[in-house]
């Protein structure tokens, strides 16, 4: 399983780009997973639902399953949040894990940068950034990717990570962006 981060400040366009790139990589026959770091409390469950009630009754883990998907909710109950390596260990095997957030982890990363959000660039202080995706030219010797061309970013990831579909998987028609 190969790992690449998508790093940048809030509002830079990380989520939009990641969503588009996932579709393009999946269309190439790759199995892609994602680890997203949230800086705030979040919930995928709602008051009144059985699973919510079971978690609030004290369950450490609740697994909900259906014909379409399954999810495990794990309550930390005061224990420290997962480190990236611990989160990665929870995933099923895949070709690539995209990591959104965890911008200070020592993994290869593509920085998403927009001058309009008025935040400093990360690459000058992070040797793990291997490319910059932006909506304008950036003064760097790193590869520069057009933030508005998700196919260019997907191509870069495939090449940089040395990815190819597993035998028996084939490319599908590419989605239009």
pLDDT tens figures, 13-57: 999 999 999 999 999 999 999 999 887 667 777 788 888 888 888
Each domain of the chain, given as residue ranges in start order, spans 2-42+81-161
2-42+81-161 placed in CATH 3.90.230.10: no
Q: Is the pTM of this model over 0.75?
A: yes
**Around Cβ 19, how many Cβ atoms within 10 Å?**
12
What is the rounded distance in angstroms from the CA atom of residue 5 to the CA atom of residue 97?
Answer: 8
What is the rounded distance in angstroms from the CA atom of residue 58 to the CA atom of residue 170?
Answer: 45
Predicted confidence (pLDDT) per residue in 59-116, tens digit: 888 888 889 988 888 888 889 989 999 999 999 999 999 999 888 999 999 999 999 9
What is the rounded distance in angstroms from the CA atom of residue 101 to the CA atom of residue 109?
Answer: 10
Buried b (16+ CB within 10 A) or exposed e, 130-146: bbbbbeeebebeeebbe
């Amino acid at each position: 399983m190969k790992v690449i981060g998508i790093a940048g400040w809030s509002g830079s366009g990380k989520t939009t780009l990641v969503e588009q790139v996932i579709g393009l990589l999946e269309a190439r026959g790759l199995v892609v997973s994602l680890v997203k770091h949230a800086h705030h409390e979040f919930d995928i469950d709602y008051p009144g639902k059985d699973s919510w009630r079971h978690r609030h009754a004290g369950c450490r883990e609740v697994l909900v399953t259906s014909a379409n998907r399954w999810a495990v909710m794990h309550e930390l109950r005061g224990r420290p949040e997962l480190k990236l390596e611990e989160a990665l260990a929870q995933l099923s095997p895949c070709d690539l894990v995209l990591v959104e957030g965890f911008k200070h982890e020592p993994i290869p990363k593509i920085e998403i940068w927009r001058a309009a959000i008025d935040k400093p660039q990360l690459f000058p202080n992070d040797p793990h950034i291997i490319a910059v995706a932006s909506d304008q030219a950036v003064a760097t010797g790193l590869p520069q990717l057009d933030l508005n061309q998700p196919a260019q970013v997907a191509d870069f990831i495939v090449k940089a990570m040395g990815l190819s579909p597993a035998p028996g998987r084939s490319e599908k028609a590419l989605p239009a962006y």
